[in-house]
């Protein structure tokens, strides 16, 4: 069983850079599993810049919904970085037409395969519960789902980290 490392923090906290640094500590080929969809020019430019910054050791798989299935692509990789859980949750929430049970079933499906992974997995997720209560129903639904998903993934992980202002703090 390869270790799972859960890394959370706010937007632009440094969590992705920390996760990438940890993944790059492994020799050999690396897999970047992206939940982002390139739906406009700005997002396409962001994705391209991130790919260029990662370098040639990284192979990228873009999968907005079936993360457990995409992890099958990790065979032969020394580590996998999944960035990010909260974007995946957003994709699932819209795909399942706001069906909370379906979204959490997908999270539980990911949790179930973690013990069978052959390469270390670095899960990046946004911490969304530190702000004020959102004013609209959909935002509250998303905040609640993300909080529950983060709890389930962190509980299943071997390590959990919180990154704030570029400073990682080990939670477990």
Give the catalytic positions in this structure: 50
* Alpha-carbon span 89 to 78, nearest angstrom: 26
- Map tokens 């050791």 to a residue: 57
Torsion sign across C-alpha atoms 137, 103, 31, 23: positive
3-state secondary structure at position 87: helix
Evaluate whether 86 touches 125 at the Cβ level (below 8 Å): yes
User: What is the token pair recorded at 127?
Assistant: 């911490």
Evaluate whether 6 touches 149 at the Cβ level (below 8 Å): no
Evaluate whether 59 touches 29 at the Cβ level (below 8 Å): yes
């Amino acid at each position: 069983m390869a270790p799972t490392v859960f890394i959370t923090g706010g937007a632009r906290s440094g969590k992705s850079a920390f996760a990438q640094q940890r993944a790059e500590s492994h020799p050999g080929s690396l897999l970047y599993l992206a939940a982002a969809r390139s739906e406009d020019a700005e997002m396409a430019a962001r994705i391209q810049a991130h790919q260029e910054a990662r370098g040639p050791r990284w192979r990228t798989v873009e999968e907005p919904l079936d993360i457990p299935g995409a992890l099958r692509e990790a065979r032969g990789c020394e580590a996998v970085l999944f960035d990010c859980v909260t974007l995946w949750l957003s994709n699932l929430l819209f795909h399942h037409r706001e069906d909370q049970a379906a979204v959490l079933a997908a999270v539980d499906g990911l949790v179930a395969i973690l013990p069978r992974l052959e390469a270390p997995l670095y899960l990046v997720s946004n911490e969304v519960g530190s702000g004020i209560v959102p004013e609209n129903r959909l935002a509250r639904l998303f905040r609640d789902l993300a909080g529950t998903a983060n709890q389930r993934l962190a509980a299943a992980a071997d390590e959990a980290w919180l990154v704030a202002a570029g400073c990682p703090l080990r939670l477990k």
